[in-house]
Amino acid sequence: MLTPAENALLTQTNAGTPMGEVFRRFWVPAMLPSELPRADSDPVRLRLLGEDLVAFRDTTGAIGVIQNNCPHRGASLFFGRNEEQGLRCVYHGWKFDVDGKCVDMPNEPAESDFRQKVKATAYPAKEWGGLIWVYMGPKEREPSLPQYPWCLVPNADHTPVAKWMQESNYTQGLEGNLDTSHINFLHRAFDRPINTRLSNSAPMKLIVLQTAFGFVYGAKRQALEDGRYHWRLTTFAYPTFTAIPGPKLGGCFFVIPRDDETSWWFMIRPLVNQNGVPEPDLSARDPYKLLQYGRQVFDPSLTHEPGSWRLARNGGNDYLIDRDMQRRINYTGLPTNRVQDAAVTESMGKVYDRTQEHLGAADTAIIQMRRHLMHLAEALQRGEEPDLAAHPEWFRQAPLEVVSLEEDMPTLWEQHHAAFLHEFAASGASTDAANARA
């Protein structure tokens, strides 16, 4: 349970809020490169951390992310004309480059230096690991790009990534990603045996270990007959990245605030496995199948607003729940994990009132995540910058699923982490961030 003040601290991320400042110390994923497919392609609306922005790609292919409202008199630059090295407001013709500099002001006298005095808010944006990242913090603190392992492999640009919008505060989705115990309920299909790997019928111990990048959350299940334990270690990196163990690094998710009531989701299938070995790119075969992302779940033609990234099944249509399916087929009457997760976490309300909740032992990782994020926000208010932002190499990590005789979580993690880093370096993955495309 949180107090009203803690709930506000955790959930509010607009400019000037303590948690908003935390997000503004990191590069955050914001778009897919395919949304800006080529030089001078159409401008795209982008709402991020409560700010209305417009993204475009200039004539050289560089990405600009600038304020939505034209600095002259506020017309939306979404309607702008993307021409030779800049975006021109169609109202009176002011033109801005990717850095927000006003490069033309045709309705003012030629001798006027007014143009020099006007600047649009613009944020740096880069392509990296199959995503477009944006940094919205102080210029002098701009960090290097985070060295998530999948961003460093030779085929990083082809990393399969799915994106969608969820209609609730970022914390609700994030908490679902850190919550093992829902899997055999929410995601249960009656014709599938209970997943004994994840089953709550086996006594389970949850252990949380603080790390340089955030924390690792380990679930240890009872010893098998031969005395070994079944371990699942999920990693969490600030501000909101979770990597859930499974084949091919399992599920890697970012949940990024769009504003306080909606969030952007990015689901990534890294082209590197939990042992640090790069994997081939199979996305060309069928990226949606690869992401188990069926037509019924997300189909741009079914969304209410094109480009909104709203799930076709959403709160407005009760996710098209099928009560007969719920009786006979699965718990929810909803297809796929994505819809099931969205339905329950959105149904809490846009910003859940955490003064009303009752947390149990199964919620340990959620409690830790909140504490860590709130500590980060409070420390930043005192002027203590997050160390992680200055250490992009600390993002190199991977979750783990293993059956092992090891009883001690810190030992298991350290061995896995060291072996992962060693193998990853030996595999020939790039070791610097120089290949980021600005």
Q: Enumerate binding residues for Fe ion (CB under 5 A).
A: 341
User: Residue length, the chain?
Assistant: 438
Tokens of 355: 């003064």
How far is residue 58's CA from residue 53's CA, in Å, rounded to a whole number? 16
Tokens of 44: 């795209």
Q: Should residue 73 be labelled a site residue for ligand FES when binding is judged by CB under 6 A?
A: yes
Q: Which is nearer to Fe ion, 114 or 185 (CB)?
A: 185
Residue 190: what residue type? F
Q: Which is nearer to ligand FES, 105 or 366 (CB)?
A: 105
Among the listed ranges 85-93, 144-152, 250-258, 417-425, the one in contact with ligand FES (CB under 6 A) is 85-93
User: Helix (H, G, I), strand (E, B), or coil: what is residue 143?
Assistant: coil
| Given 28, 46, 70, 389, the residue binding ligand FES (CB under 6 A) | 70
Instruction: Name which of Fe ion, ligand FES, none residue 89 binds, using a CB cut-off of 5 to 8 Å depending on partner kind.
Output: ligand FES
Q: Should residue 429 be labelled a site residue for ligand FES when binding is judged by CB under 6 A?
A: no
262 close to 400: Cβ distance less than 8 angstroms: no
Please state, in angstroms and as integers, the Cα–Cα distance from residue 98 to each residue in 8, 59, 88, 122, 141, following that order.
34, 10, 11, 7, 19
Q: Residue 372: in which H helix or E strand, if any? A: helix 364-381
Give the residue among 219, 46, 254, 286 at the shortest CA–CA distance from 148: 254
Strand order in the sheet with 122-123: 44-48, 51-57, 63-67, 122-123
The CA dihedral of 43, 47, 53, 59, to the nearest 10 degrees, is: -30
207 close to 406: Cβ distance less than 8 angstroms: no
Q: Should residue 102 be labelled a site residue for ligand FES when binding is judged by CB under 6 A?
A: no
Least Å distance, CB 134 to Fe ion, is 27
Least Å distance, CB 354 to Fe ion, is 19
| Given 75, 118, 212, 402, the residue binding ligand FES (CB under 6 A) | 75
Instruction: Name which of ligand FES, Fe ion, none residue 118 binds, using a CB cut-off of 5 to 8 Å depending on partner kind.
Output: none
How many separate helices (H) and strands (E) can be counted in the chain? 11, 19
Residue appearing with tokens 């932002």: 389
290 close to 27: Cβ distance less than 8 angstroms: no
How far is residue 311's CA from residue 338's CA, in Å, rounded to a whole number? 9
Instruction: Name which of Fe ion, ligand FES, none residue 73 binds, using a CB cut-off of 5 to 8 Å depending on partner kind.
Output: ligand FES
Least Å distance, CB 2 to Fe ion, is 22
Q: Should residue 92 be labelled a site residue for ligand FES when binding is judged by CB under 6 A?
A: yes
Q: Which is nearer to ligand FES, 43 or 250 (CB)?
A: 43
How far is residue 143's CA from residue 137's CA, in Å, rounded to a whole number? 9
Residue 323: what residue type? R
Least Å distance, CB 90 to ligand FES, is 8
Among the listed ranges 73-81, 316-324, 325-333, 430-438, the one in contact with ligand FES (CB under 6 A) is 73-81
Least Å distance, CB 120 to ligand FES, is 10
Among the listed ranges 88-96, 173-181, 196-204, 301-309, the one in contact with ligand FES (CB under 6 A) is 88-96
Least Å distance, CB 308 to ligand FES, is 25
Residue appearing with tokens 């009457």: 333
| Given 87, 89, 208, 268, the residue binding ligand FES (CB under 6 A) | 89
129 close to 26: Cβ distance less than 8 angstroms: no
Instruction: Name which of ligand FES, Fe ion, none residue 78 binds, using a CB cut-off of 5 to 8 Å depending on partner kind.
Output: none
Q: Should residue 158 be labelled a site residue for ligand FES when binding is judged by CB under 6 A?
A: no
Q: Should residue 72 be labelled a site residue for ligand FES when binding is judged by CB under 6 A?
A: yes
User: Helix (H, G, I), strand (E, B), or coil: what is residue 88?
Assistant: strand
Instruction: Name which of ligand FES, Fe ion, none residue 341 binds, using a CB cut-off of 5 to 8 Å depending on partner kind.
Output: Fe ion
How far is residue 436's CA from residue 129's CA, in Å, rounded to a whole number? 8
| Given 27, 94, 231, 241, the residue binding ligand FES (CB under 6 A) | 94
Among the listed ranges 84-92, 176-184, 324-332, 406-414, the one in contact with ligand FES (CB under 6 A) is 84-92
Q: Which is nearer to Fe ion, 36 or 178 (CB)?
A: 178
Tell me which residues touch ligand FES (CB under 6 A): 70, 72-75, 89, 91-94
